[in-house]
A and B are shown apart, each in its own frame.
Chain A
Amino acid sequence: MVGLSAFAVGAEETEEAIAANPLAKADIDGAARTDALSIPTPGELLAALNKLGKLDWSSKFRAPIATSFPSRAQMALNLGGLIADGYIAVEAEDTQQVKNLGKDILALGKNLGVSKEILDRGKSLTEFADNKQWDVLKEELEATQNEVKEAMERNKDPDLVNLVTLGGWIRGTEVLSGWVGEHYTEAGAKLLRQPGIVNFLSSRVEALPEKTRNENCVKKTQAKLQEIQTAVSFPRETPPSQDSIKQLHQLSADLMKDLARKDPK
């Protein structure tokens, strides 16, 4: 991994270690799961994906979507998807696409009452895009996403936080499965093993207030999550086939398209 010589003299260090005992069942069942640490950031996924080879990220752009929807839940789901699009634009190093998405994210954020947080970051996002500071832009996007979620918590809209995360994850899954489906390798396929994430997101959707849970877009998403869960819950050493990954891509792509409709089917 990395040398630890940078640490202070006197630190205890050994080559390797391992816990003496397995975790107790109570520890496993009672393990904390938080949006802030249990759900990987898009940056982590992209770091792993970029190790598989050079991707044509611009081929993963999608057509602009609406920035106003009938319900706040649908707006939150699409905001998550747009932020994921922002990461794709940064990976593609496409200044104009970053700016376009920034405007759409701001418009959708305004409708959700979190435009101040996005505006505060928006100027720097534009400047970094103009200056082609892509690494800094990734950090800014991550910070923007977290500030939007913190603002939602402050505005007593914590349910929307989960939907933003969910929307971003579905869009990320669409892109990842699309790429792996086209350029199949076992290593790439194994990146799609994400049962813990779907479990976490699904439990958060189930915990939403009944009114939100009964919204068409949320019901549709929860139903599709069950299918997606099956597709990403394969054994550690048995990657899914190329056909299975293409099916997963179709599932997630159809769901994203449906969520972007003014009136989801």
Chain B
Amino acid sequence: MGARMVSFGGWDMPVEYSGIVDEHLAVRSRAGLFDVSHMGEIEIAGADALKAVQHITSNDAGKLAIHQIQYSALTTPQGTFVDDVLTYKLADEHFMLVVNASNIMKDFNWISEQITGLGDVAAVNTSSRYALMALQGPAARDVLQTLTGVDLAEIKYYWFTTGEVANVRCTISRTGYTGEDGFEVFSPPGSAERVWDAILQAGRSAGVVPAGLGARDTLRLEASMRLYGNDMDETTTVVEADLGWIVGWKKTEFLGLDVLQKQKAEGAPRKLVGFEMMERAIARHGYDVYIDDVKSGVVTSGTQTPFLKKAIGMAYVPVDSTKPDTEIQVDVRGRRARGRVVPMPFYKRAK
């Protein structure tokens, strides 16, 4: 395949195939296929499974129908992130959390601890049972449709179903991490290569290309999707990450709810904002942010984006500096470069 590989959490991961820019633009205009099998899956089952999921995650899983998905936070009692997750409702008493690769064991241990004593419920780390491929881009649906009897048009955004892809039994969800329409396909690991090859084959005439972690990162940043470990972690709350929309504010209880309610009512001291650079300079993860010559925050993600062709990023800044057009300076290796706060998302696809 000619991929440039990197070792990550025990997996050999493709960073890029034909190049980050090429793959990024392919996903925006056609489609790209990502191997994201390193993602983890933790299943929670039992008569009290919903109660357990409600206790450990911020979003209201009580609103989920079977086959529906929601973005959520696995929270600490301080309202910060143990991880960010997708919650899949497999059945009334059975949920699956899709978690970040580097957090699998931490999450599993945390969940096991937190649900002890909550009744009839158990958590199982099922990560090794699934390979995961993401087909993302405007051509994704038509290409995948040629390989499955499932009517993909019937799967709404953030819903999933089960069915065969290239004669392999899979879970197919209309989700992704690129800002484009697309699907994520969970297959048994032993059949993953067959599914992968079939999708690339079926997508050849439509210009589908294999895409790596490099393009995944630039695509998600353009779409303003957060990356755990960069944009939020155990020191940042859900409100500070400006993800109030993944909090079930009407829930009576979950870990950290009181802290988040207080921050919502009184305001958090800082907030994650999007910015773009106003001069030629690229702000990157970890660079200091200055406002009126005072060190005020830090860049959490930043790059030169291939599609928008701008240097953009996200940063935590004091709450009185979050308005669009607020000027910031980023310390780019000793030089202060000017940028300004802009609304997120940076990129939103045309419907």
Decide whether A and B assemble into one complex.
no
Q: Give B contacts to A, CB under 8 Å.
A: none
